[in-house]
Amino acid sequence: MTAVADRRGATFADVLVFLATVSLAAALLYPAWSARRFRERVATAVADVEAVSTAARRALQESGRWPQAAPPGMAPPELAGLSGEGSAFSRTDYRVGWTSWNVVDSVEVVQPPPAPEDTPPEIIGRMMAPVSRSVGGVSVHSGDPALLAELSEHFAGEPTFVLDTMWLLVLTDRAATPISGR
């Protein structure tokens, strides 16, 4: 009997052990990698929402009006600095949008005193009157419900809601003038 003098290469069993080891390592590392990537996407979405809301509030302070509404993925003219490659309005995982709408608030007004010849009203003093103003909102459109849930959790102290594949942050600052032409 002669022994194999010069054995080279791996046996079938060696290859199977190697593949099992690599598969196990990949199975253990994939969830951590996937979670890190998701956290990065959430952080980017939060930063985009904060950038758009800050720029919109700045436009409100400067002009007294909210920026014009724009479709998701497009910056309104007043927020043009946020458009372009790598900006809040150019993401591929989700689309950021801007909207604004009119609301009716009730404000206290002082009722003028009646003229002497008029019959005095039953109540003289303060009363409520409707005033039309506008509010703004930043939206994120995504097919990933986990991203929308994370945005809701991050902005929990502010008025937000989710409708289908859209998350909306309502900016409650009121513009003195309503939006015209709607």
Q: How is 60-107 classified by DSSP, letter by letter? A: HHHHSSPPPPB-TT---GGGGGG-STTSGGG-SS-EEEEEEEEEEEEE
Mean pLDDT of the chain: 84
**20-56 per-position pLDDT tens digit:** 888 887 777 777 777 788 999 999 999 999 999 999 9
Domain ranges of the chain: 12-175
Reported as type and span, the H/E element at residue 48 is helix 12-63
Instruction: Please give the Cα distance from 96 to 71 (Å, whole number).
Output: 9
**116-147 per-position pLDDT tens digit:** 666 665 656 667 888 888 899 999 999 999 99
Q: Which residues are bridge partners to 160 per DSSP?
A: 169
Residue 81 corresponds to which tokens in the numbers above? 């600095």
**71-110 per-position pLDDT tens digit:** 898 899 888 888 778 788 888 889 999 998 888 888 887 7
Res 6 pLDDT > 80? no
pTM over 0.85: no
